[in-house]
């Protein structure tokens, strides 16, 4: 994440806190951002406004996992590492053996990943409870 983008993100968070102060502020970052960068940027805003942070959630795309693992492993693991919650998303679109492979490959990099399908609602409520 570039310095100007990080600065914009911090400024926007502070502005939203001061102007609206929502109960929840969701950040949907670029696909190229890793979790440690997000943590750093989130911490920067705490210098002059108060807010709670986390969880930092990383979704691992089930159907795209093969490509991510072979072509973008450093990025994928950079998003998995330091995440509070890792979830295999779109899990309804992959077979059970593919899901088992994903879990096996991630087991050295995170705690047991949650299995998620936002389309059919599987485990979405569990994520909400973790936030609440």
Partner 1 sequence: MRVVSVSGARGCGKTTLIRKLVGYFSAAGKRSAVIVNEEGQAVYDDDFIHAHGLTVKYIRGG
* 79, 106, 110, 113: which one binds partner 1 (CB under 8 A): 79
Degrees (nearest 5) of the Cα angle 87, 93, 98?
Answer: 70
Footprint (CB under 8 A) of partner 1, residues 99-118: 116, 118
Contacts of partner 1 in 42-61 (CB under 8 A): 42, 45, 51-61
Pick between residue 9 and residue 106 the one whose CB is nearest to partner 1: 9
Q: Given the rule CB under 8 A, which of 9-17, 96-104, 105-113 is the region that contacts partner 1?
A: 9-17
Nearest to 68 by CA among 38, 36, 98, 111: 98
Peptide bond into 113 cis (omega under 30): no
- Residue position matching structure tokens 């951002």: 33
CB of 97 to partner 1, least distance (A): 20
């Amino acid at each position: 994440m570039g310095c100007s983008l990080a600065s914009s993100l911090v400024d926007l968070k502070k502005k939203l806190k001061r102007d609206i102060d929502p109960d929840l502020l969701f950040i949907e970052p670029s696909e190229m951002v890793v979790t440690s960068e997000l943590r750093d940027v989130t911490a920067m805003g705490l210098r002059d406004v108060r807010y709670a942070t986390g969880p930092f959630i990383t979704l691992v795309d089930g159907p795209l996992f093969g490509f991510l693992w072979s072509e973008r492993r450093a990025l994928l693991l950079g998003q998995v590492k330091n995440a509070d919650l890792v979830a295999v998303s779109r899990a309804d679109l992959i077979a059970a053996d593919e899901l088992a492979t994903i879990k096996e490959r991630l087991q050295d990099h995170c705690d047991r990943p949650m299995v998620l399908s936002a389309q059919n609602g599987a485990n979405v409520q569990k994520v909400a409870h973790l936030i609440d």
